[in-house]
Each structure stands twice: as C-alpha cells, then as structure tokens.
Amino acid sequence: MNAASRIFLFVSLVSVSVHGQLPTASHRLERFFDSFDRDPARTMDLLPPKYDSHGRLLKGSSQFSPDETADRSYVLIKEQVRQDHFSGRKILAEINPSNDYLSFLEKSKLDSIDQLAVASLDSGSSENIPWSGEYWATYRGGVAARYAAADFPESGSWKDYEKFFQDITRTDYLDPQIIPDLSPAEKYDLLIGDKNMGLTNWSIQTSKFSVDGKGEIETWFGLCHGWAPAAFMMARPEHAIEVPSADGVAIKFYPDDIKALSSLLWANSRFKNHFVGGRCSEKNPTKDPQGRILRGECWDVNPATFHLIVLNHLGVDRKSLVMDANFDYEVWNQPLVKYQVHYFNPQDRKATDSIVAAKIPLQNFSADKFGKYRSSQAKFVVGVIMDLTYTVEKRASHTEVNSPSDDFQRTVQYIYDLEIDNSGKIIGGEWYQNAHPDFLWAPADGAVAQIPSETLISTEWDGNGPVPEDLRQLGLRTAKKGFLVNKILQGLNKKASSTPLKVN
C-alpha cells in the first residue's frame, strides 16, 4: 500500500467530533466498515481513535521513544515490565489461562444478553473516579524528584538529574523556606524523623541501579503500575496540608506529594489481585489474511471476557479496574472511569441501543470474516462499539487544590462482536482491532497495600499531630527499603480529603 492509500484509509476510518460530543455510533461504524471492507488487515492494525474530554480527536502520545514505537519494541517492554512487577506475587497464580471472567468478578456475574438488557447496562462508571497523577519517572529520581523546585532540571537525561542529586546538601532540610519544595520522599523522611533520609536515598539508588550501558535510564521506567490502582484505591487529596515533623517543624504536603507516596505504596506492596490476560512476547505475531492475530496469547483477552468484566465490574459494581493493550503504545496501565456501549447488527452494520435488537442468527452472518474461529456452541452474534474512558498521567505541580476537573481523561473506541449460545449466554466473540485490551487487573475486594508487619500495629493516625511512635518506628525500618506505612499515608490522605473513598 502506498502512502496516499494509507492516508486515505486513515482519514476514512477517523470521525471528527462536533460541538464537544463524540460522533454518532452510526457515523463511526460507517467510517470504520468502509475501511474494514476495503482492507481488513490494514484496518485491524490501526490504533483505535482516542478523544479528549471535549470529544476532540487526539494525536498519538506515548512514554516510549520514537524508535521503540516504530520497531514495536514497546510490546516486549510492556511484557517484561509486567513480569518484573508481578513475578513471584500471589496474583500470578490467579491469571486464568482460559480468560474466565468468573475468576475476575467477585460480585455481579451477569452473563446473558437478556440479563444485561434488563439491567440497563449500556453505560456505567466507577464510583471512585481515578485521579490523574505523575508516573514518577525513574530517570528523574522517582519520588525523590524535587519536581517544583526552581533549580530542578527539565531534561530527558538521567545524567542531569544525577548531578542535581550529587549537589544536594542536607543542611537545608529543616529550613522552613526550603521544606515546601522538597521531594515527596524527603518530606516523608522528615515526617518520620529519619535523619538518614532512608526513602530519599532508596529512591535515588533505585535510579542508579537502573542505568544502562550508556549511562542513561529508559524514560518509561516509573511507577505507573502503582499509580493506576492508587488512583481509585486511595481517596483524592483535595488540598494541601501541613503536618508536624518528628522534630516539630511544619511540613507542607501538596496533593501531588501525597499522590506520589500513594503510588509508591501501591507499587511496592503485596496485595490480592484479579487478572485476566495472556503473555505475548512477539512484536509481530502471525496473522491470517484478514489481519486476525493467530497466537492465542497475543489475541487475548477474549471480547466476551472483556465485555462481561467491564459491564459487571464497572457497570454494576461501579468499581474501576486497570487496562493494558500490548499492541497500543498509547495505552499502558490505565485506570478505567466509565463506558458507553452501542450495539449493531453485524450483517448490515446498523447501530442500535438494544443488544437484543442487534442479535442475528450466526447462520445469517454471511459477511463474517472470522467464521472459522467461531465457537461450535455459538448460535447468534451481536456487534458492539464501546467508548471506554480512562484516566491518564499528568505532570506533578504545587497546585494547592485538586478536583476531578483537574484530571486528564481519554476515551478510546473498541469494536468487536459477541457470540451467543442458544440460552442467551455470551460465550465468545471476535475483535475487529488488534490494538485491543489484552490485560485487565484490579485489586480484590478489601485489598490493602501494606507490609505484613503493619498488621500487628493497631494504632491509627488521622494526620493531626506527629506520627504515633510505633508507626514512626516501623516507618524508619521500612523506608530505606522502599516500603511505606499504609496508616501514615492514610493519615495524610484523610487530612487532605473531605470526600472519603466510597466502599461498595
């Protein structure tokens, strides 16, 4: 395909929003299938369109370098990071190779089109809206970054930050004029009276250990795997607070300081999770002539599993979850906010808001490009277009207040179909895009990010007055290893939040 054809194909696929709203489902389906019928393999490989909160089509953005994007190295990077972060944890044993949605869901488990229709689940949202936060890049020192200090570098090179950290002196740590500009790690160390600055040194050393053969650190290293669950498992810090250090000096914590420490808490803690998804380690997996990926690990999650988890977990239970898409360099550990689904007749591609009306007998689906992959139990098929909204990262600042209006959100469009058996149960389906969600995870109900020894301490702290001595001593022992005390973070969070986390 020449360059002109590629441009025409992309333009024909993308729809433009009007007056801050997404284009209608009918319009988007018409554009999509015009491209899909012309060149299904090429269309399958295009990234799904993404829109901002005003309905404006977005250009691509990513934490990966242009080279990593061009040669698809990001696929292998994502897989390796996933293994590094989750290897050895209990959650790995809970990955269900069959992608059974029942292994993920704890409460609502609706799985038939009649049940979904009666429950009116065409849209849904998380009760706790995930907040935007920094991903605390390792090459900038992680949570040791003095992100708002006037002399903190703005660079893409670890070497510049390394020099900054070498020049830091400790004589200014208790200077009231300096404290507000200290890093989240430094403020935590002062809060617990750690004169050795254990958390700060751990964070800097973690950066040093991440240096490659060229003396640099990959810019995508960071705490996105901690920020994603923290964003909906910890209440939003709504305003800056002052709390006394162990030495009696007032420490000002900005909302982004508390978000940083919350992200580290969830990144380094063990807690029970639920997962579905495969482990794809191929940049360019084999495809059939229609563009469908053939290797199961690189094709999962099945559309039925995805659809049922989103509608039950996010729609009925109103709980967020984290989404990854291996073949989409723009989506990586994103916490979900809300969804909107429209259905369509897969034969004539006509949109409808009724899942029952969109259902057709599989034997009447003559336009089916994936017929040979259908389940032998499938008797009906229904088309789906889902608009899925997720929260994205945002550079930290010393903003005094934080609210949902400060968040960055994106909405992505996924198109797929669902296979239905004779009883009306959703049993499978086919993706119409290769850059679809292939890994979903969420903390289990009641999950707490904490180290085992913290469970032995009954003391609570509400952020008023100094940190209680037993919690402070635990903090001194654990900070130098990168572990934070949950009850200390909860105290900061309670003082900074007037809206408690909703538990359902």
Identify the residue with better confidence: 288 or 257.
257
In this structure, the answer to whether residues 279 and 267 fall within a common structural domain is no
On the question of a cis peptide bond just before residue 301, with omega within 30 degrees of 0, the verdict is yes
In this structure, the answer to whether residues 489 and 477 fall within a common structural domain is yes
- How high is the pLDDT of residue 91? 31
**495 dihedral zone (left: phi>0; alpha: psi -120 to 50; beta):** alpha
| SS3 per-residue string spanning 451-471 | CHHHHHCCCCCCCCCCCCHHH
Q: Which ranges constitute the DSSP H helices of 192-284?
A: 198-209, 224-233, 255-268
In this structure, the answer to whether residues 294 and 435 fall within a common structural domain is yes
In this structure, the answer to whether residues 254 and 294 fall within a common structural domain is no
Interatomic CA distance for residues 63 and 134, integer angstroms = 12
For residue range 181-216, list pLDDT tens digits in order.
999 999 999 999 999 999 999 999 999 999 988 899
In this structure, the answer to whether residues 184 and 297 fall within a common structural domain is no
One-character DSSP codes across 141-179: TGGG--TT-TTS---S-HHHHHHHHHH--STTTT-TTTG
29 inside domain: no
Query: Is the per-residue pLDDT at 49 higher than 70?
Result: yes
Least-confidence region, from 53-62, 174-183, 343-352, 487-496:
53-62
- How high is the pLDDT of residue 88? 44
Least-confidence region, from 45-59, 127-141, 167-181, 254-268:
167-181
For residue range 85-134, list pLDDT tens digits in order.
555 443 322 334 446 788 899 999 999 999 999 999 999 999 999 999 99
- How high is the pLDDT of residue 500? 82
In this structure, the answer to whether residues 349 and 478 fall within a common structural domain is no
Percent of the chain with pLDDT over 70: 85
For residue range 266-276, list pLDDT tens digits in order.
999 989 988 88
For residue range 149-171, list pLDDT tens digits in order.
999 999 999 999 999 998 876 65
Average pLDDT over residues 352-375: 93
- How high is the pLDDT of residue 279? 66
Query: Is the per-residue pLDDT at 77 higher than 90?
Result: no
In this structure, the answer to whether residues 413 and 292 fall within a common structural domain is yes
Count of structural domains within the chain: 2
Least-confidence region, from 24-38, 73-87, 475-489:
73-87
**Domain coverage including residue 76:** 48-104+120-127+273-440
501 inside domain: no
Average pLDDT over residues 5-10: 40
414 inside domain: yes
Q: Is the pTM of this model over 0.95?
A: no
Ramachandran angles phi, psi of 367, nearest 5°: -85, 5
In this structure, the answer to whether residues 217 and 227 fall within a common structural domain is yes
